[in-house]
Amino acid sequence: MKRYSAFAIAREAFRQHTGWTRAWGQAEPKPRYDVIVVGAGGHGLATAYYLGKNFGITNVAVLEKGWLGGGNTGRNTTIIRSNYLQDPSAAIYEKSRSLYETLSQDLNYNVMFSPRGVMMLAQTQHEIRGYQRTAHANSLQGVTTEFITPQRVKELCPIMNIDGPRYPVLGALWQARGGTARHDAVAWGYARACADMGMDIIQQCEVTGVVTEGGKVTGVNTSRGDIKCNKLAMVVAGHASVLAQKAGFQLPIESVALQALVSEPIKPCMDVVVMANTVHGYMSQSDKGEMVIGGGTDGYNNYTQRGSFHHIEETVRALVETFPIVGRLKMLRQWGGIVDVTGDRSPILSKTPVDGIFVNCGWGTGGFKAIPGSGWAMAELVAKGQSPLTEEFSMNRFRHGKFIDESVAAGVAH
């Protein structure tokens, strides 16, 4: 029986789903590009797309050491929401959520956006106060959320046990216009749109070095040869610190694994997304009927993309009490992704000490929901040197103590 590489399988799936007939991942790089984007995940592809759409910059290459969407974009649990506490966070996440609403029309590709609603359970008195505070902040920010009663929670999600002995449900922060989307479709839609504008998406092309001259970037060394550029955008999530070191600077991030799993498919029983920070678990049901389940990050730095038994036990043990109906389901598969975490749990979209290099990283456990907004803001930063959406997310905020603390909103609730 013939065995196929993950790259070959991904390439064929992409071709069949998008109808894209252009040589896929096989094109030879040009000698020079206006912009090179490193990372063909959602954030990198969105950056390239909005460079072309909003600013007319199409001499762009997107370099990927693996395959398109093979990193965190294809490994997350697809939750989309914007109910963050701090103003800069709410601005960029709400921009992203609003772009998701029309993304299928914009890309002419169905990303299967499903605004089914997202609730974050309050299971302690402290969480009640915290979520009520967030609801008030969201009201001032123009983000539509509300704090709802346990009875309303039960109406929205009948399979939930709200009277658990250890962790009763005392209410929830509810965002009705949040939801989910198909992660592969988001990457494929952006990729096809970038290709239609004449951009090069070059896969299996690892960046091995960054070339600078007089403090300014001039190109990159790759496994497929040297490529020159005027500007370089680093959008590689958990590998951001590694790539930054190649350019001669450091980033204040740590890389850890975030794990998830899905159950065997069952009939529709849950049409909302539920997250429970107290017990470190969250769950939704996919279009195929699988219960998509995830929890917290590993307690130590690592670059693994595998699951582990102790995380299965920790996450499922807590969810079974809140959702007794899932207690006898079988696990279908599990996996991990490498997330890049900052000290204040907020991203970095910033210029760097090297002229012409821009970095987009630090999204931690909340990267998928931010893809359109992140790409929109990063494209503006690269094209114009500044963006109102990225102003507060500079690398320098850690030096000046201007943290954007989202440890409650982003700690585990993706």
Q: Total structural domains in the chain?
A: 2
- Amino acid 366: pLDDT: 87
Three-state DSSP state, 20: coil
Cα 112 to Cα 373: distance, rounded to the nearest angstrom = 18
Give me the residues paired with residue 233 across strands. 37, 358
- CATH number (domain holding residue 264): 3.30.9.10
pLDDT of residue 26: 55
Q: Is residue 16 part of a domain?
A: no
β-strands 291-297, 253-263: how paired? antiparallel
Separation of CA 346 from chain center: 12
Residues 125 and 224 in one domain: no
Can you give the CATH number for the domain in which 240 is found? Answer: 3.50.50.60
**Does residue 18 fall inside a structural domain?**
no
| In a shared domain, residues 98 and 171 | no
**End-of-domain residue from the set 301, 320, 342:** 342
Whether residues 100 and 37 share a domain: the answer is yes
pLDDT computed for residue 305 by the predictor: 78
Instruction: Tell me: do 239 and 99 sit in the same domain.
Output: yes
Residue 277 covered by a domain: yes
Residue 408: the pLDDT is 62
Considering the domain boundaries, does residue 193 fall inside one? yes
Judge if 221 and 282 occupy the same domain: no
Asked whether residue 329 is domain-assigned, the answer is yes
Residue range of the domain that includes 171? 118-178+255-342
Instruction: Record the pTM.
Output: 0.92
Whether 18 contacts 28, CB under 8 Å: no
Q: Of 317, 342, 367, which one is at a domain's C-terminal end?
A: 342
Q: What is the pLDDT along the chain (414 residues), one digit of tens a residue?
A: 445 455 455 556 555 555 554 544 556 788 899 999 999 999 999 999 999 999 999 999 999 999 999 999 999 999 999 999 999 999 999 999 999 999 999 999 999 999 999 999 999 999 999 999 999 999 999 999 999 999 999 999 999 999 987 889 999 999 999 999 999 999 999 999 999 999 999 999 999 999 999 999 999 999 999 999 999 999 999 899 999 999 999 999 999 988 899 999 999 999 999 999 888 789 999 999 999 998 878 777 888 877 777 778 888 887 888 899 999 999 999 988 889 999 999 999 999 999 999 999 999 888 999 999 999 999 999 999 999 999 999 999 999 999 998 876 654 544
Q: How many CB atoms lie within 10 A of CB 19?
A: 9
Domain shared by 298 and 355, yes or no = no
The one-letter amino acid at 106:
D
**267 and 228 share a domain?**
no
Residues 269 and 405 in one domain: no
